[in-house]
Amino acid sequence: MIKNEIEKRITEKSAVIGVVGLGYVGLPLIAEFGLKGFTGIGFEVDAEKVESVNAGRSYIVDVTNENIKKCVDDGRLTATTDFSQLSKCDAIIICVPTPLRKTKDPDMSFILSAGGQIQKYQRHGQLIILESTTYPGTTDEILLPMFEEKGCKLDEDFLLAFSPERVDPGNPQFQTHNIPKVVGGVSKDSTEAAALLYSQIVGEVHPVSSARVAEACKLWENTFRAINIGMANEMARLCNALGIDTWEVVRAAATKPFGFMPFYPGPGIGGHCIPLDPHYLSWKARQHGFDSQFISLAEQVNSNMPGYVVKLVQHALNDEKKAVNGSKVLVLGVAYKKDIDDMRESPALSVIDLLRAKGAEVIYHDPFVPEVTFDHAYTIGDGEPLYNQDLTDDLMKNSDCVVICTEHSDIDYNRVCEQSKLIVDTRNALSPDIRNGSHAKIVRL
């Protein structure tokens, strides 16, 4: 049986692991296999990433240079743009992006491209796993027919499964090795072999009955977050209208030891998962005549938050007898979350775009992001690139308004309050002690 062949190689650690896509998901994954004694081949279309990995350098915040160098020096990791080497792999894990089209429908082009390369070099005895977030049915409806097209048979020639990635960039507590892995195969043998593979690098594996269940699990996780963040954002706007401190309300509610989980408002939602994944679920729901109203409402609330932040800036400047048009606005933090360099779908980009559309001169400081371009974001325009500015006293003093969009840890917020005239804090970055000792006017979400 092919399952026995694959499991034997996994148990002996003679299985060669191929990972297609060396981004925030793929690089930590293949590094973990290398550290656990497996030989891995990373496949990338970006030649610069390939060169970096082969030189022992990491470009992902959660993966150290030391770990990459160790894997490379030990002969456990190589990266390549040559997809013909897929034929050498016993297990192939697909970790490519799954963006949305402008119509907010799933863009399956990266999965199709990866699947096409695997099909081209497919051989007997391979376990293929999709990790890219997608709608329920993708593994069965797209990949299975593709891999059987040339006469290969599931459970006889290859195994196929889905295991959702659960990466949280910049989270020092939860990383690849200690995040439970959900695994669902297209067949029982596929589930068992994929579960065995992941058990070599993670502490807990949770098998489910099918790939569809595993695909739906991932979307449920992130849709849950999107909806609850949407509620937090709506509550923030309500509290603002009522003159109540939003953050005090959340802290008070969080003292309840059951039935409540705190979610926090912000300038919008970002990253590759939460802004996109609910659309995959609602798109699939529409195919079955189901209207997912909660998802649509949360998306509407969250997508309106950058505009609400700009209104806060506008009103705050107006109170100082200034217009947005012609004002100098300093944005602190443009990554989508604290202490990382990832700008995917960052709400800060929309805030900047909206401010520039109103005539503001926008500058930014982010210690993780040297340059901001606007050709990859869902923004209203295609403004000129911006470049990171040093956070000098003069920069803050000469700014009419400072907008905290991302609360990076190494920014001295005491100093920000000392040197700034007006601050709009969308992340509750300014503690009560800082606020109480500040001469700046502070507006909070």
Positions annotated as catalytic residues are 273
CB-count burial class (<10 Å; 0-12, 13-18, 19+) for 1: exposed
Separation CA 418–CA 437 (nearest Å) = 9
The neighbour count for residue 362, using CB atoms within 10 Å, is 21
DSSP character for 106?
B
Separation CA 433–CA 445 (nearest Å) = 18
CA 179 to chain CA mean position, Å: 15
Separation CA 123–CA 89 (nearest Å) = 9
CA distances from 65 to 28, 69, 369 (A): 11, 6, 19
* Beta-carbon contacts of residue 367 (< 8 Å; ≥ 6 apart): 388, 408, 410, 411
- The tokens for 417 are 């309050």
* Beta-carbon contacts of residue 227 (< 8 Å; ≥ 6 apart): 278, 294, 295, 298
DSSP secondary structure string for all residues of 267-300: S---SSSTTTHHHHHHHHHHHTT---HHHHHHHH
What residues form DSSP beta bridges with 184? Answer: 162, 208
Nearest to 170 by CA among 368, 35, 413: 368
Separation CA 130–CA 95 (nearest Å) = 7
Helix (H) or strand (E) run with residue 185 in it: strand 181-185
User: Which residue, chain included where needed, has tokens 């892995």?
Assistant: 181
